[in-house]
Amino acid sequence: MVLRRLALSIPLLLLVTLLTFLLNSLAPGDLARTMMQGEGTEVQYLELRRELGLDQPLVVQYGRWLRHAATGNLGQSFFTKESVASLLNDRIGVTVSIMAGVLIVCVSAGLALGVMSALRGGWVGRAIDTLSLVGLTLPSFWVALVLIAIFAVGLQWLPATGYTPLRQDPMAWLLGLILPVLSVSLVSITTIAKQTRDSMNEVMGRDFIRSLRASGLPERSVIWKHALRNASLPVVTVLGLVMVNAISGTVFVERAFVLPGLGSLAVSAAQNNDIALMQGATLYFTLLTVVINLLVDMSYGWLNPKVRVQ
Amino acid sequence: MSASSVGAAPNAPPSIAMPRRFVSRLLSKPLAWVAIVWLVAIFALGLLANQAAPFDPLEQDLLAVKQLPSAEHWFGTDELGRDVLSRVLHGTLPTFVGVAQALVVVMLLGVGMGLTAGYFGGRTDAAVGQVTNLFQALPMIVISLAVLTVFNRSMLAAMVTFGIIGSAGVARVVRSATLNVRNELYIEAARISGLSDATIILRHVLPRIMGPVIVQLSLIAAIAVIVQTGISFLGLGVQPPAPTWGGGIFDAAASLNDFPWLLVPSGGVVALTILAFGLLGDALRDTAVETWARPAHRKQARKRGDKLALEAVFAGAPHAAVMSVRGLHIATGDGTHQRTLVSDLSFDLMPSETLGLVGESGSGKTLTILALMGLLPVGTHIKSGTLRLEGTSIDLTDEDSLRALRGKQLAMIFQEPMAALDPCFTIGHQLTEVIRCHEAMNPAQAQARAIELLKQVKIDNAEDVARRYPHQVSGGMAQRVGIARALAPNPKVLFADEPTTALDVTVQADILELLRALKQSHGMAVVFVTHDWGVVADICDRAMVLFRGKVLETADVLDIFDRPQHPYTAALLKANPHSAPPGQLLPTVEETLARMAREELAA
């Protein structure tokens, strides 16, 4: 199962990187000219083209990039001339930290709200429906700014911007992550809650719930252990989609909180036409997606014994 | 793209083949009205921004920076003293243009792919499925950023990319809607009459799926607003100082420390527009789909009868009875729509006795024992009734008291043994959980007890079975596990709800034999629900015949077979396949009753 997914993720990686290369050739004008911004001589232009490998066919360019990528060499940033791989490696910790926080918040809050709404229905359910509409309505980057205005500028409880590495100061790392994580999560919590509610409603009607109750098990065990475990498969599927979407959320939130993550790096690459850097960033983002899908598959196996046996 | 088509796409109700009723029903929803009015108004103001805006959006006034709303500047001024209202109005058109660009792509690509996949099916369907899977595998922003890098931060390129990626989700919805329509007879008829596929799709399929398509488009429009403003917020797409909604939010971020007011107008207009598209989508969906409301599960008002009154009910009950039930009423629905399912049911159960509850499907046998377990299905409830268990009386409408008895005093085994086990946990785990819930034991002791229980229900390789998951054992084995679980806390009474019906004949006999042996060794009383007279004869001491929720007669099994008191019992016995002579049609209960009625009349 997991191995199969790993095997399937290789074509995805190839395809995405190939796509960025094809885009490159679709670009209006010529990369070398764009980079020179109308300055320099024709000789310098040809020089730059050769330097970038643009004089060779696309297939050759792609093949060379792949060979280098396999050895961890993603080339140089067109703009700063630094190694793309080391730029990306410096930044990925921030993005992964946010993603981990989003995962924890979404799972705990989403499951709790979903189960409550399945059991109580009524106002919790209506609140989730309303909040999910509000969540859809409010762009995460605006929510981020409002949170900064309230909790950082107004109440001064939490830092407004910036990132402290975990190794440097774990407490500052955690405090700095709270608002970014909340900004990304708020939209997704209700998505998880809704799916949890629907699949809990389905599972609570199954025969074994009645027989567990007949055995005299306490409701908390029937609900939080047996029903939730059985209801969790579709929730995990949705959680996977939510986490893939959260990657987009980190891009905006990193800009709002001025966090040095992959997203802000990719945005500056877009601002500077830094195609080499963007190709590297795309590869990293795709790898993140692959890891998320892999975790989803692994938890299927953990949650459902039938999947495990096959 | 012309300006008029920009507005028409999200706002105007589609003219083609949309039933007039749909539009009028949509307009009867106030929220839909609010949404449409907002979208039309903001779009019109954006279109006429040059006339409507009070100031030039780029005009700076460094003497009046960061001002709160005033008569002159309705939305205040920003960090360069520019009029915020004017900037918002001038930012409207780029956003709506972006939304329209995405919508055009989705309409062509998403709807096109969905229609093709759903209509042609087969390989086309599979291929489209692959493409949509790929689109959905990646976060949109990754591709968008790559596109923005290559295409010099072009907003058009970004919105088209969003449209392409968004098409995947729309294609899925359209595909399944098309599949439903395609299988209808009139489509087949149209094909036989020689219409071309294109004609059928455009004239007969597309109009039928307009509902879901429009819902999807309004949701895509809502997301497109977020994407367009998001890209401006990131400083890509339209470049500052040109006014954009997303740029306005970024400006607000810059003055967050000393002038948070800017968040309100910039975010507000974006949020309201997204909300309007979202609400419109919701209203469209509600109009399209007949909404069904889940029947509200009303909590029964608990009447705690006083002890003396409860005791009085059992005045005539035999003293030795292990369990007595008096006046059990079960009903469904509430108020005027209430329907009685079981009425005034009473019985006594002696120690070590097996009482058969016999009757047709729907006679209330299973409901009766579920009610005594406090496990009635949603929508049904106990109106009245009392239970006495070993001298303690309980009001049956009080579910909490029943819960305390479950497992420990009253246990139950079920008709579908496999469905009665949680598929996610091993058999051993499920047993130890029940054991430890009723008795203080450490995990090792509970494990040993579980193995012992499995051996008691005649499972030879108990250790091995304990490690298996429910899907790895047979139905008969699952029922043995169910029995072991029921026996774990040594209950006084075991309810058996047709525990052998779903099993093979040979396994049935084994399970009945097991139950008989366990009843003797554990000294339990058993209430056995069945419609099988053979089982009654085999295992029961007494039988109670139920018909449409009423007890017709209760007697010793021998008496029932030899001298049925009630004509219905006689008819039910006649319908027993076990006693029928081979080669003859079995009389139904109705036939026998009708014949007896005729005979009675003749006499």
Cα distances (angstroms) measured from residue A197 to each of A202, B237, B290? 9, 39, 21
Least-confidence region, from A189-193, B5-9, B216-220? B5-9
pLDDT at B432 over 80: yes
> What pLDDT is stored for residue B295 in this prediction?
34
**Distance (Å, whole) CA A145 – CA A179:** 10
> What pLDDT is stored for residue B184 in this prediction?
73
All residues at 6 or more sequence positions from A155 whose CB lies less than 8 Å from its CB, including other chains:
none
Report residue B299's pLDDT band, with 50, 70 and 90 as the boundaries.
Answer: very low
In this complex, the residue of A138, A206, A289 whose CB is nearest that of residue B138 is A289
All residues at 6 or more sequence positions from B186 whose CB lies less than 8 Å from its CB, including other chains:
B204
Report residue B20's pLDDT band, with 50, 70 and 90 as the boundaries.
Answer: low
Nearest residue of A to residue B483 by CA position?
A215
Nearest residue of A to residue B472 by CA position?
A306
CB-CB contact of B109 with B168 (8 Å): no
> What pLDDT is stored for residue A35 in this prediction?
64
> The complex's ipTM?
0.78
**Cβ–Cβ contact B490 with A under 8 A:** no
Per-residue pLDDT tens digits for B192-214: 777 778 878 887 788 778 777 88
> What pLDDT is stored for residue A105 in this prediction?
93
pLDDT at B435 over 90: no
Least-confidence region, from A227-231, A305-309, B10-14, B376-380? B10-14
Per-residue pLDDT tens digits for A145-173: 888 888 877 787 777 777 777 777 777 78
Per-residue pLDDT, averaged over B528-550, amounts to: 86
Touching A: B residues 354-383, CB under 8 Å:
370, 373, 375, 378
Chains A, B: CB pairs < 8 Å: 219
> What pLDDT is stored for residue A184 in this prediction?
87
3-state secondary structure of B227: helix
pLDDT at B297 over 60: no
**Distance (Å, whole) CA B542 – CA B274:** 69
> What pLDDT is stored for residue B337 in this prediction?
74
- pTM for the whole thing? 0.72
CB atoms under 10 Å from CB of B298, counted, come to 9
CB-CB contact of B554 with B324 (8 Å): no
pLDDT at B374 over 80: yes
**Higher local confidence (pLDDT), B525 or B289:** B525
Nearest residue of A to residue B142 by CA position?
A282
**Higher local confidence (pLDDT), B584 or B75:** B75
> What pLDDT is stored for residue B291 in this prediction?
31
Beta carbons of B233 and A251 less than 8 Å apart: no
> What pLDDT is stored for residue A63 in this prediction?
82
Report residue B15's pLDDT band, with 50, 70 and 90 as the boundaries.
Answer: very low
Mutate to test the interface with B, among A5, A92, A142, A203 (most CBs of B within 10 A): A142
Maximum mean pLDDT: which of A1-15, A153-167, B95-109, B247-261: B95-109
Buried residues in A23-60 as b, exposed as e (16+ CB within 10 A)? bbeebeeebbebbeeeeeeeeebeebbeebebeeeeee
> What pLDDT is stored for residue A77 in this prediction?
76
Cα distances (angstroms) measured from residue A104 to each of A185, A189, B443? 9, 10, 30
Nearest residue of A to residue B404 by CA position?
A216
Beta carbons of B375 and A213 less than 8 Å apart: yes
Three-point CA angle B528, B530, B536, nearest 5°: 75
pLDDT at B105 over 90: yes
- How far does the CA of residue A221 sit from the closest CA of chain B (Å)? 9
Tokens of A50: 């050769």
pLDDT at B104 over 90: yes
Query: What percent of chain B stands above pLDDT 90?
Result: 3
User: Which residue from A237, A292, A281, A227 is spatially nearest to A89, judged by alpha carbons?
Assistant: A281
Amino acid at B508: Q
Mutate to test the interface with B, among A211, A229, A274 (most CBs of B within 10 A): A211
In this complex, the residue of B260, B416, B437 whose CB is nearest that of residue A153 is B260
Nearest residue of B to residue A227 by CA position?
B422
> What pLDDT is stored for residue B85 in this prediction?
79
Report residue B527's pLDDT band, with 50, 70 and 90 as the boundaries.
Answer: very high
Report residue B4's pLDDT band, with 50, 70 and 90 as the boundaries.
Answer: very low
State the alpha helices, DSSP H only, in B289-325.
307-313
Residue ranges of chain A whose pLDDT lies below 50: 310
Report the run of H or E that residue B327 belongs to, with start and end: strand B323-332
Using a CB-CB cut-off of 8 Å, the residues of chain B touching A15 are: 134
User: Which residue from A22, A245, A164, A213 is spatially nearest to B370, judged by alpha carbons?
Assistant: A213
Report residue B375's pLDDT band, with 50, 70 and 90 as the boundaries.
Answer: confident
User: Which residue from A58, A48, A74 is spatially nearest to A24, judged by alpha carbons?
Assistant: A58
